[in-house]
Amino acid sequence: MGLPLLLLLLPASLQADHWAQHCAYSYFGMTQPRQLSAPEGGSVRIPFSFSYPCNSGKISDVKISWRWKHFHGDFIYNTTPKFIHKNFKDRLVLNWKEGTKNGSLQISNLRREDKGFYFCRVEMITERCHKQKWQSINGTNLTITHGLQTKARTPARGSFQNTEEQYENIGNNVQQPDPKLEQNEDGIFYASLSLQSVASPPCPPPQWGPQEETLYSVLKA
């Protein structure tokens, strides 16, 4: 009885060794852009995609996490259990659906101190390769640029004052002509005065009347 049982168990052990070697040399990959840049105060999405052997069997319990600054840096995000680093509170969103192999990590309200490398890490249980976990080697180097700031230009108060003074000077700058005395043949002097409005500039003369109003006074010699 012992020999037949050994023969039955031998193929199972050989099969296990085969899959162990297969999983050891299989490619579990992670792809991320090498470098990204975004303005301070804005947002950025760091895309990622991962791959595993197609003959790994049934996949379950997929977990995605992110590390910051270097390969063995602090975890800033984790799907299970849910975790977000205090420096990124209310600023991280993972755009990924279970069952897919790609997604992105969105960072909002970017700060200058958010610069650095970001590494995506995947962990899963496969039917044939059991528990596997791997991570991006190079990561994504995020650069934070200066945000766009627009300032409304306000004219200086002095410019308004100068303009008002200019209009005021123009309005009051009216020359008062001296009355001209003309002597008539009978020895009487006539004085004529030209009156102009100081409130507004003179209007063009109408075709039917004189432009100026003339006042006559009689002076006896």
The domain segmentation of the chain, as residue ranges, is: 19-145, 177-198+211-221
Judged against a pLDDT cut of 50, whether residue 165 lies above it is answered with no
pLDDT for res 125: 95
Q: What are the distances in angstroms from CA 114 to CA 42, 69, 96, 106, 200? A: 12, 9, 22, 12, 64
**Threshold 0.75, pTM exceeds:** no
Q: What is the mean pLDDT of residues 113-118?
A: 98
Instruction: List phi, psi (to 5°) of 218.
Output: -105, 125
pLDDT for res 207: 52
Nearest to 98 by CA among 129, 127, 62: 62
pLDDT digits (tens, 9 = 90+) for 21-45: 557 656 899 999 999 999 999 999 9
pLDDT for res 121: 98
Fold of 19-145: Immunoglobulin-like (2.60.40)
The C-alpha atoms of residue 104 and residue 114 are separated, in whole angstroms, by 17
pLDDT digits (tens, 9 = 90+) for 55-94: 888 999 999 999 999 999 999 999 999 999 999 999 999 9
